[in-house]
Amino acid sequence: MSEKIKKIGIMTGGGDCPGLNPVIRAAVRTAILKYGLEVVGFMHGYNGLYHNNVVPLDLDAVSGILPIGGTILNSSNKDNLFAYPFEEDGKTVYKDVSDVGVENIKKNGIDAMIIIGGDGTLTSGRDYARKGVRVVGVPKTIDNDLACTDYTFGFDTAVSVASEALDRLHTTAASHNRIMVLEVMGRYAGWIALAAGISGGADAIMIPELPYDINKIADAIKERKERGRKFSIVVVAEGAKSKSGEIHVSRVVDDSPDPIRLGGIGAVVADELERLAGLEARATILGHIQRGGTPTSRDRILSTRYGSAAVELVMSGKFGNMVTLKGDEMSYESLEDVIGKNKGVDPDCELVQMAKGMGICFGD
Ligand code: F6P
């Protein structure tokens, strides 16, 4: 199989994520220096595949990008070519234009595609694999919620940024006897909230997998107050749900394959806790700060391993798969088995049980 591969294409889709550039760099360097391949990139995710927006990726193009956040190929979390929006008679109609992408791949003489993205991007990656395109996926999301891999790149950076934010919020909390609430990302999974909460010494952690009763969080804060600790730190995932199932939608992005954007739960939780616990409260939304900027060294290493392993999968002809990390081993799993399965926090897992054992309240 490997002798037939002469040229590969790379694409980044979905929200940006620390580590995208190191993946691109590792893939390009491995492809060129180990296998003598030619490499090109499609700009702006599937938008570039549709419009044939291609750039050459040689060694110079990836020089110096290792520590830089974002992606030199730009990204888009819209542009699903299997359901692409067109305006017709004042109405939006969705058409399958995926064949345009197949044509553009052929037109550029590309033998295989490395598609870097989260569930939405890799869903189209799987669908292109089903159409016969030679695809290898690389798992990207700060949320760490993609199935079949232990860790996605970007997660470690997000957790580090959130932990530092918690350290800073601690000083204000302690100086003013306040409840400080930090809202972090995590639409369907509480990995960032859980890890940052443990690393940053939170008193309460609220995650989507453990629906909360706000009274229980308030009671835990009141108990601390009675013990003389007159401040508390609360981390809440944007997708945390109350026991009645309430979530907080900040906007709907109509032309996105996953249109719901969450946000705002932190302010609501702060107001409720101020009223119930009798301490002044403030909310901070960390937002895209946790997704931007330079990757941690751990993420740089993981991204580099993913990028290099993606080229190895291409060269061994293992198409239709996503590169994975299992324990400390690089491996792979069929995209068919990855897509549509959210990897949430198991409420019985060691981290949650340990946190509960040392008095961190989840409100469940
Ligand atoms: O899935 C990654 C993610 O960062 C989520 O944690 C967050 O809900 C979402 O993307 C934000 O998307 P956008 O950049 O479109 O606001």
pLDDT tens per residue, range 109-131:
999 999 999 999 999 999 999 99
Separation of 256 CA from ligand 1 center, angstroms?
11
Q: Any residues with CB less than 8 A from the CB of 320 and at least 6 apart, and which?
A: 126, 129, 135, 334, 335, 336
pLDDT digits (tens, 9 = 90+) for 96-107: 999 999 999 999
Cβ pair 79, 47 in contact under 8 A: yes
Asked whether 262 lines ligand 1 (CB < 6 A), one says: yes
Torsion of CA 262, 266, 271, 275, to 10 degrees: 120
User: Do the domain assignments include residue 94?
Assistant: yes
Residue positions annotated with a catalytic role: 143
Q: State how far the Cα of 269 lies from the Cα of 234, in Å rounded to an integer.
A: 9
Nearest protein Cα to ligand 1, atom 8: 187
Closest CA to 40 of 113, 116, 134, 140: 113
Nearest protein Cα to ligand 1, atom 13: 15
Counting ligand 1 atoms within 8 A of each CB, the residue from 142, 191, 236 with the most, and so the one to mutate, is: 142
Q: In terms of domains, do 136 and 208 share one?
A: no
Q: In terms of domains, do 169 and 228 share one?
A: yes
Q: Any residues with CB less than 8 A from the CB of 22 and at least 6 apart, and which?
A: 65, 66, 153, 295, 299, 300, 303, 304, 307
User: Do the domain assignments include residue 359?
Assistant: no
Cβ pair 210, 348 in contact under 8 A: no
User: Do the domain assignments include residue 361?
Assistant: no
Q: State how far the Cα of 214 lies from the Cα of 229, in Å rounded to an integer.
A: 19
Q: State how far the Cα of 333 lies from the Cα of 136, in Å rounded to an integer.
A: 10
- Report percent pLDDT > 70 for the chain: 99
Q: Please tell me the predicted confidence (pLDDT) of residue 3.
A: 56
Q: How far is CA 278 from CA 177, 216, 221, 272, 281, in A?
A: 11, 14, 9, 10, 9
Asked whether 261 lines ligand 1 (CB < 6 A), one says: yes
3-state secondary structure of 215: helix
Determine what percent of the chain falls in helix, strand and coil, rounding each to the nearest 5: 40, 20, 40
User: Do the domain assignments include residue 349?
Assistant: no
pLDDT of 10 above 90: yes
Q: In terms of domains, do 129 and 262 share one?
A: no
Asked whether 234 lines ligand 1 (CB < 6 A), one says: no
Q: How many CB atoms lie within 10 A of CB 327?
A: 6
Q: State how far the Cα of 308 lies from the Cα of 297, in Å rounded to an integer.
A: 16
Q: Please tell me the predicted confidence (pLDDT) of residue 287.
A: 97
Closest CA to 295 of 31, 51, 19, 48: 19
DSSP 118-158: SHHHHHHHHHHHHTT--EEEEEB-TT--BTT-S--BTHHHH
Q: In terms of domains, do 311 and 202 share one?
A: no
| CB neighbour burial string for 117-154, b if at least 16 within 10 angstroms, e if fewer | bbbbbbbbbbbbbeeebbbbbbbbbbbbbbbbbebbbb
Asked whether 163 lines ligand 1 (CB < 6 A), one says: no
Closest CA to 312 of 61, 30, 88, 12: 30
Asked whether 31 lines ligand 1 (CB < 6 A), one says: no
Q: Which atom of ligand 1 approaches the CA of 239 most closely? A: 8
pLDDT of 158 above 50: yes
Tokens at residue 291, please? 């997704």
Asked whether 321 lines ligand 1 (CB < 6 A), one says: no
Q: In terms of domains, do 145 and 268 share one?
A: no
Per-residue pLDDT, averaged over 120-149, amounts to 97
CATH classification of the domain holding 321: 3.40.50.450
Given 274, 292, 310, the domain boundary residue is 292
CATH classification of the domain holding 248: 3.40.50.460
DSSP 166-179: HHHHHHHHHHHT-E
Q: Please tell me the predicted confidence (pLDDT) of residue 256.
A: 82
Per-residue pLDDT, averaged over 172-177, amounts to 97
User: Do the domain assignments include residue 348?
Assistant: no
Separation of 12 CA from ligand 1 center, angstroms?
15
Identity of the residue numbered 186: G
pLDDT digits (tens, 9 = 90+) for 227-260: 999 999 999 999 999 999 988 999 998 878 788 9
User: Do the domain assignments include residue 354?
Assistant: no
Cβ pair 169, 182 in contact under 8 A: yes
Q: In terms of domains, do 19 and 144 share one?
A: yes
Nearest protein Cα to ligand 1, atom 11: 261
3-state secondary structure of 103: helix
3-state secondary structure of 115: strand
Separation of 230 CA from ligand 1 center, angstroms?
34
Nearest protein Cα to ligand 1, atom 10: 15
- Rounded mean pLDDT of the chain? 96
Q: State how far the Cα of 256 lies from the Cα of 13, in Å rounded to an integer.
A: 12
3-state secondary structure of 23: helix
Q: Which atom of ligand 1 approaches the CA of 262 most closely? A: 8
Asked whether 178 lines ligand 1 (CB < 6 A), one says: no
User: Do the domain assignments include residue 345?
Assistant: no
Separation of 187 CA from ligand 1 center, angstroms?
7
Cβ pair 80, 46 in contact under 8 A: yes
Q: Which atom of ligand 1 approaches the CA of 187 most closely? A: 8
Q: Any residues with CB less than 8 A from the CB of 314 and at least 6 apart, and which?
A: 5, 8, 112, 114, 134, 136
Q: In terms of domains, do 170 and 261 share one?
A: yes
Q: In terms of domains, do 83 and 162 share one?
A: no
User: Do the domain assignments include residue 350?
Assistant: no
Q: In terms of domains, do 104 and 213 share one?
A: no
Separation of 117 CA from ligand 1 center, angstroms?
12
Given 263, 292, 321, the domain boundary residue is 292
Q: Categorize the per-residue pLDDT at 2 as very low, low, confident or very high, splitting at 50, 70 and 90.
A: very low
- Domain containing 317 equals 2-153+295-338
Q: In terms of domains, do 219 and 287 share one?
A: yes
Separation of 15 CA from ligand 1 center, angstroms?
6
Q: In terms of domains, do 288 and 161 share one?
A: yes
Asked whether 141 lines ligand 1 (CB < 6 A), one says: yes
Q: State how far the Cα of 253 lies from the Cα of 329, in Å rounded to an integer.
A: 37
pLDDT of 1 above 90: no
Q: In terms of domains, do 106 and 141 share one?
A: yes
Asked whether 291 lines ligand 1 (CB < 6 A), one says: yes
How many domains does the chain contain in total? 2
